Amino acid sequence: MLVDKAGPEAEGGEAGPSSGSPVGTGEQIGYELEGWGNQLKVTLEGMLARAGIGRVWEAGALVVSVADEEAVDDLIATLEGDDMPELDDETPRVALEIEGMDADDQAELDAQLAAGSVPHAWDDEGALIVAQADEDQVLELIDEVLNGRPDEGDGLAAQEALSALYVA
């Protein structure tokens, strides 16, 4: 469940999808995502990464190859529109309390779930609510997010290894 509103309606304007405009020589297309908060941009970034779409962020604008325009338009439409799947009230649900997850991990997981079209929500205590049928897929994504991050050690072991190399 996303907190930020997307598109012009977030600023009180008329609702309408974001669209790209040619950049430079026309081989790239830029998307001015006005009214988008950080959570939506992080979610889009995760969806783009999962789809393997090359991109650059320039001063808040997303720049992609013209060849990827249709795929990016679809992802943006998913985030701006009602294409995001919602949890069905009649579907059995599970609440997953995830230990060791910081805000960046939660944003990444949210993006991965959105990219995989997995209906989900976060409760007030921070537990992830998903359909019982999706639990195994979600547990795999959680594992990828939590175990895919680099080692957060202090680098002492690496420095000792390099020192031993140079001393020898």
CA 168 to chain centre: 46
CA atoms within 13 A on the CB side of 146: 11
Closest CA to 44 of 7, 5, 72: 72
Return the percentage of the chain with pLDDT > 70, whole number: 70
Q: What is the pTM of this model?
A: 0.51
Name the average pLDDT for the chain: 77
Domain-wise residue ranges, the chain: 8-80, 86-168
Q: What is the pLDDT of residue 2?
A: 36
Please tell me the CATH code under which domain 86-168 is placed: 3.30.70
Per residue in 111-164, pLDDT tens? 778 777 788 888 888 889 999 999 999 999 899 888 875 554 556 666 666 666
State how far the Cα of 34 lies from the Cα of 61, in Å rounded to an integer.
9
Fold of 8-80: Alpha-Beta Plaits (3.30.70)
State how far the Cα of 37 lies from the Cα of 42, in Å rounded to an integer.
9
